[in-house]
């Protein structure tokens, strides 16, 4: 078996890099207001480097050609770039870059130590699957209140904003409360905010239905060990599908043969079913209906 470069350490490294980058930008913004400019980092605000700012500004931009307060061209550019990457590879932004997602994962490591196998499996399946759609309601609410008020109302409830601005005095008490809840929940559920409340995750999650490169499981070589299922932070049952099209996938690639799957070339990222597999599927579809997700 070929020696594989494990995804986990690389992903952690990337997550730490972006977490520190965003923390530096937040500090840089505070220093800029005090008249000190950090070299390379400058004084951009967190809003200016948040691609979701572009999403919530879209309505106003289309209607009046202006941005919502505190949103600038940079948010729009990031929004377009992140959309482009999501169309290609899925919500890699969520799985590898978003500092709030990383933060929840790191808290979750404590939860894993505390609750072991029970961790991330404590919410009953039925309730959990309903709650997973809550983030679309949050998304609709955010878009409506932002369009009506021309203000970033969500900043008052955004744990990401609270996390990187706690020292500024600009964070609403509601932001702190939600951040506290996210921290506590992260001890029992992996990425609770991503799963149940993140409006940007809701937007990017939709890319799982049409992304070019999808997570595919090759049944022919699969030994049904469920390693992929256990590795998935979003509780997606990879083993039950040949193609993952779940709206909750964050493209962390932890389920793939580069990480959890012990068999080479079995859980892969591909633009189409590999030749031998598609040939097999074709033969099968002639006889029986496909069971692809």
Binding site for other proteins (CB under 8 A): 5, 7, 10-11, 14, 32-33, 35, 42-45, 48-49, 60, 64, 66-69, 72-74, 77-78, 80-82, 84-85, 88-89, 92-93, 95-97, 147-151, 213, 251, 253, 256, 258-259, 268-272, 274
Angle between helices 99-115 and 173-186 in degrees, nearest 10: 40
Binding track over 199-218 against ligand SF4, x by CB under 6 A: ----------------x---
- For residue 237, the partner it binds in ligand SF4, other proteins, none, with Cβ less than 5 to 8 A by kind, is none
CB of 231 to ligand SF4, least distance (A): 6
CB of 195 to other proteins, least distance (A): 21
CB of 229 to other proteins, least distance (A): 17
- For residue 11, the partner it binds in other proteins, ligand SF4, none, with Cβ less than 5 to 8 A by kind, is other proteins
Using CB under 6 A as the binding criterion, the count of chain residues that bind ligand SF4 stands at 14
- For residue 71, the partner it binds in other proteins, ligand SF4, none, with Cβ less than 5 to 8 A by kind, is none
CB of 77 to other proteins, least distance (A): 5
Which of 202, 261 has the CB closer to other proteins?
A: 261
* C-alpha dist (Å) from residue 201 to 89, 110, 123, 251, 282: 14, 24, 20, 11, 34
Q: Which of residues 252-271 bind ligand SF4 (CB under 6 A)?
A: 252-255
Q: Does 7 bind ligand SF4 (CB under 6 A)?
A: no
* C-alpha dist (Å) from residue 128 to 137, 143, 248: 15, 24, 12
CA distance 71 to 199: 17
DSSP string, the chain: ------HHHHHHHHHHHHHHHHHHHHHHHHHHHTT---TTTTT--TGGG-HHHHHHHHHHHHHHS---TT--HHHHHHHHHHHHHHHHHSSHIIIII-HHHHHHHHHHHHHHHHHGGGTT--S-HHHHHHHTTHHHHHHHHHHHHHHHHSS-GGGGT-HHHHHTTTTTT-S-HHHHHHHHHHHHHHTTSSSHHHHHT-HHHHHHHGGGGT-SSEEEE-TTT-----HHHHH-TT---GGG-SB---TT-----TTSTTTT-SSTTSEEEESS--HHHHHHHHHHHHHS-----
- For residue 277, the partner it binds in ligand SF4, other proteins, none, with Cβ less than 5 to 8 A by kind, is none
CB of 55 to other proteins, least distance (A): 16
- For residue 234, the partner it binds in ligand SF4, other proteins, none, with Cβ less than 5 to 8 A by kind, is ligand SF4
CB of 142 to other proteins, least distance (A): 15
Binding track over 217-256 against ligand SF4, x by CB under 6 A: --------------xx-x-x-x-----x----xxxxxxx-
The site for ligand SF4 (CB under 6 A) is made up of: 215, 231-232, 234, 236, 238, 244, 249-255
């Amino acid at each position: 078996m070929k020696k594989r470069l494990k995804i986990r350490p690389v992903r952690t490294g990337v997550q730490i890099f972006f977490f520190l980058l965003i923390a530096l930008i937040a500090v840089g913004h505070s220093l800029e207001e005090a008249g000190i400019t950090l070299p390379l980092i400058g004084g951009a605000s967190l809003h200016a480097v948040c691609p979701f700012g572009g999403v919530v500004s879209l309505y106003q931009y289309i209607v009046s050609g202006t941005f919502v307060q505190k949103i600038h061209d940079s948010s729009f550019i990031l929004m377009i770039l992140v959309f482009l990457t999501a169309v290609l590879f899925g919500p890699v932004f969520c799985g590898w870059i978003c500092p709030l997602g990383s933060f929840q994962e790191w808290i979750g490591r404590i939860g894993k130590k505390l609750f072991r196998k029970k961790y991330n499996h404590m919410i009953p399946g039925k309730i959990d699957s309903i709650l997973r759609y809550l983030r679309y309601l949050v998304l609709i609410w955010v878009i409506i209140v932002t369009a009506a008020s021309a203000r970033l109302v969500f900043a008052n409830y955004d744990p990401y904003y609270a996390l990187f601005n706690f020292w500024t005095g600009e964070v609403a008490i509601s932001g702190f409360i939600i951040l506290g809840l996210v921290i506590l929940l992260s001890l029992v559920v992996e990425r609770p905010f991503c799963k149940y409340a993140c409006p940007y995750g809701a937007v990017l999650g939709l890319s799982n239905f049409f992304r070019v490169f999808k997570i595919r499981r090759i049944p022919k070589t699969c030994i049904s060990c469920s390693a992929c299922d256990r590795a998935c932070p979003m509780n997606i049952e990879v083993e039950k599908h040949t193609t993952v099209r779940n709206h909750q996938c964050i493209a962390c690639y932890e389920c793939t043969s580069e990480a959890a799957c012990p068999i080479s070339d079995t859980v892969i990222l591909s633009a189409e079913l590999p030749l031998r597999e598609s040939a097999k599927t074709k033969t099968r579809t002639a006889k029986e209906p496909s069971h692809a997700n």
